[in-house]
Homo-oligomer: A and B are copies of this chain.
Amino acid sequence: MSTPNFRKGTAAFSVIFLFAACQTFPTPADRDTLMKLEQFEFIGGNLLSTKKELQLNYILEKIKGKEITEGMKTGKFPPAMHFFRARELIEQSSVFNIIQKMPKGAGLHLHEYALLSVDWLVKNATYLPNCYICFTPMDGIRFHYFSRNQQKRLANCSEWILLEQYRKQIQNVTEFDNSLYRNLTLVTENPEEAYQSQNIIWKKFANVFTAASSLISYAPVFKTYFYEALKEFYHDNVQYIEIRALLLPVYELDGTLHDKDWSIMAYQEVARQFKNDNPDFVGAKVIFSVHRKLNNSEMKTMINEAMELYKKFPEILAGFDMVGQEDAGHPLWYFKNELLIPAKMGIKLPYFFHAGETDWEGMSIDENVLDAFLLNTSRIGHGYSMNKHPVAKQFSKKFDVPLEVCPISNQVLMLVSNLQNHPAAAFMAEGHPMVISADDPAVFGARGLSYDFYEAFMGIGGLKAELTTLKQLALNSIKYSAMSAQMKAETIKLWLKKWDQFLDVVLHMFNSDEL
């Protein structure tokens, strides 16, 4: 790295200065100072830039300005459009192209059945021998791998059909495979018509998950799926991931069922293997997650199991969370007795609670974002509604508990339509602790983290977001991960090397005229 130099303002700026600077009513003479202060407050605004960073930032902001101005003029600005319609436009964007090349650090908010492009499931998993399909009355599909004549009929599903045979009988296999794709993602041409309420899209979302899990829970698919997922993130220049996982039983062809230990060890084995094959990848961790519709006694069992697993698999298990549609499940506080068991027993079990993935202010679910702190969460999954909770926000800032912001997920799952209105815009402007993640890229038709970084950089941050914003977001993702201090230090070192290569590569893409 070359010597850092001062880019914006001086190190004398600080958050305290924001308050101090606003004690007297401003005059026109204060303009430069106040504008610098706002830039400084912005996420990444207090990072110093190297010469190369300054050069790339100059180019990047020029390209970005052009793309934003074009979007304003045409009314076709990807972050203001539904991702299903915006994706193609995003792929044509030079900013996106640069973001793809950038080392993005860690993906901290991801779910185990939606990591890898669905193409892989359709083109590989469903083409394996012994793969059967059945159809549910509500337009869903389920898969299962059986030894010949060992099929067991699933409740609420048609008879099992062997895919190998079925594909031989039908005329248009491509069309059939496309229909599988449609059943394994939320992607559709007219999302507003297909999904007329949050409840409707969450039903389909759950359906898609169950369908995908029915493929992925087959032991041979399970490991390959995770390996391929790591590869997809690796190719998207992501160095490390943490996945929320239900640790559902994984089965063999002969019907043998594997338990949670097996799944965790499988994740660990695959992650190690992948790291062996690709030494510039750091690894993966698992956050054991259960559905928020459990009852109290089920939750108690799960918490006890989580404590055991955390003790047993310290390398790979990061902690505990709850999943499912927040508005439709129990509030965190409903489980207070169960969630406080580890603390009462003096046993460590870090929490990574989803909280505030809601538009519904003042309902009982809306307290999750505050209760997550009372229950000692290490991060906040989404925290979409935290802007409506000044006390929770204060704790988040003061105790450096970051939000895991997943722009495309929040848009597709109908919390917000135009990402310029995402509440994280205010958090970015205030330099609030946060990371960017992708939640369920496979289900949304995205890949890796680049699409979400693009939305955050162009839509949520607007033209105010600069190269240092991207750098800070990547650095944050390492800082706020569940890695050990030593592993973080090594990852930062690796990341800095990649960052330097990234600067060189992108600077070479542009000829000297533009500098």
Contacts and interface: CB of A to CB of B under 8 A. Distances in A.
A395 B22 CA distance: 6
Interface in A350-389: 359-363, 366-367, 370-371, 373-376, 387-389
A32 to B, nearest CB: 11
Given A73-B199, A394-B18, A429-B388, A360 B38 contact: no
Contact of A336 (B23, B28, B74, B374): B28
A373 B389 CA distance: 26
A440 B74 CA distance: 26
A53 interface: no
A506 interface: no
A391 B464 contact: no
The DSSP consensus for interface residues of chain A is helix
Q: How many copies make up the complex?
A: 2
Interface in A281-327: 327
A470 B361 CA distance: 16
Contacts of A21: 391, 394
A363 B77 CA distance: 14
Scoring A21, A361, A463, A464 by chain B CB atoms within 10 A of each residue's CB, the highest score goes to A361
A333 B72 CA distance: 21
Interface string A20-57: 01110111101100110110010000000000000000
A200 interface: yes
A137 interface: no
Contact of A198 (B75, B340, B423): B75
A387 B26 contact: no
Contact of A416 (B23, B196, B418): B418
Scoring A23, A198, A418 by chain B CB atoms within 10 A of each residue's CB, the highest score goes to A418
A349 interface: no
Contact of A374 (B30, B391, B461): B30
Contact of A68 (B30, B68, B363): B363
Interface string A328-362: 00000100100010000000000000000001111
Contact of A421 (B359, B392, B394): B359
Given A31-B371, A363-B68, A390 B41 contact: yes
Contacts of A389: 38, 429
B25 A399 contact: yes
A192 to B, nearest CB: 8
Given A362-B464, A394-B19, A395-B22, A374 B31 contact: yes
B200 A359 contact: no
Nearest to A414: B418
A359 B420 contact: yes
18 contacts: A18-B390, A22-B394, A25-B376, A28-B336, A35-B370, A38-B390, A68-B360, A68-B363, A359-B418, A360-B463, A361-B429, A362-B461, A362-B462, A387-B423, A387-B426, A389-B429, A390-B429, A415-B421
